[in-house]
Amino acid sequence: MTMTYLETLHEEIRSRQNPADAVKMQSYMKNKFTFYGLKSPIMKEVMKNHVKMYGLPEMSIPEVTKRCWNYKEREMQYMGMFFVDKLKKGMQEDDVKALENTITEKSWWDTVDHIAKHHMGHYIQTFKHREQELVEKWIHSPNMWLNRTAILYQLGYKKDTNEDILKYVIEQQKENKEFFIRKAIGWALREYAKTNPDFVIDFVNSTELQPLSRKEALKNIQLTWHRFFLLLYDFLWLLNFVNSWKTDWTKNKAINNTTTQISMSSITLKGDKALRIAVLISNPS
């Protein structure tokens, strides 16, 4: 009996299995999946040779993802993602259900994060009229991985990022204690900070995020010349504030001839200035 395209690929992967590395990979993935133990360079070599010999599969995205997800070995799900990467230019509007299945079935960060950014992100850009509907569905879904997808699908959008949607999905999930949601919020903001750091700082300043999300969001804020002068302006403002306070304190001491004890902790700097100073000093590069 002649083997099918995917059966031939599966046999090629099986023939290159490494039991020792398979154990390590399974452990790294919390023993959620079975592995043949092929590291990334070998996987790329196998795929390159397979495509060179047989071409890309003559299958739709729903068909190829369903078949790849039916295999128990995790390498076949990775191959399924590769095929979608190559076939996504021909993506159809009805393919969204199959893509959602790749998120909700055999779910873990190693597949979901790639699918969210590269597959769902592409789908939304291709079928823009579906964006609001799908974002609402994903962010309110009981499935945590769809929640994460709603937060991450704009990762590669840069200047095309819809800031209103980004703020909305974070607001909906900011109190979620799930690690993968807290991490996703920080990741999405950190990535967009490369494009619009002021937006991210202002949003973090005005939104009560959980510590992990906040830390991740501000991790890579750069001290550009523009931000340097903002910091300088804010520092001079702070210096003037302190000098004014000291002057008033000295006057009051002279008039009352008493010792005034003032707790510096009672002085709270509010607004953008305080946050900007804290962020830029703690993240100089």
Boundaries of every domain in the chain: 1-10+32-38+51-153
- Confidence (pTM): 0.79
Contact 161, 192 (CB under 8 A): yes
Q: How confident is the model at residue 254 (pLDDT cuts 50, 70, 90)?
A: low
Of all residues in the chain, the percent with pLDDT exceeding 70 is 84
pLDDT of residue 204: 95
pLDDT in tens, 83-140: 999 999 999 999 999 999 999 999 999 999 999 999 999 999 999 999 999 999 999 9
Mean pLDDT of 229-238: 76
Contact 121, 155 (CB under 8 A): yes
pLDDT in tens, 152-202: 999 999 999 999 999 999 999 999 999 999 999 999 999 999 999 999 999
In CATH, what number does 1-10+32-38+51-153 get?
Answer: 1.25.10.90
CA dihedral for 195, 201, 207, 211, sign (positive or negative)? positive
pLDDT of residue 65: 98
pLDDT of residue 134: 98
- Structure token pair of residue 123: 């789908």
Average pLDDT in the chain: 88
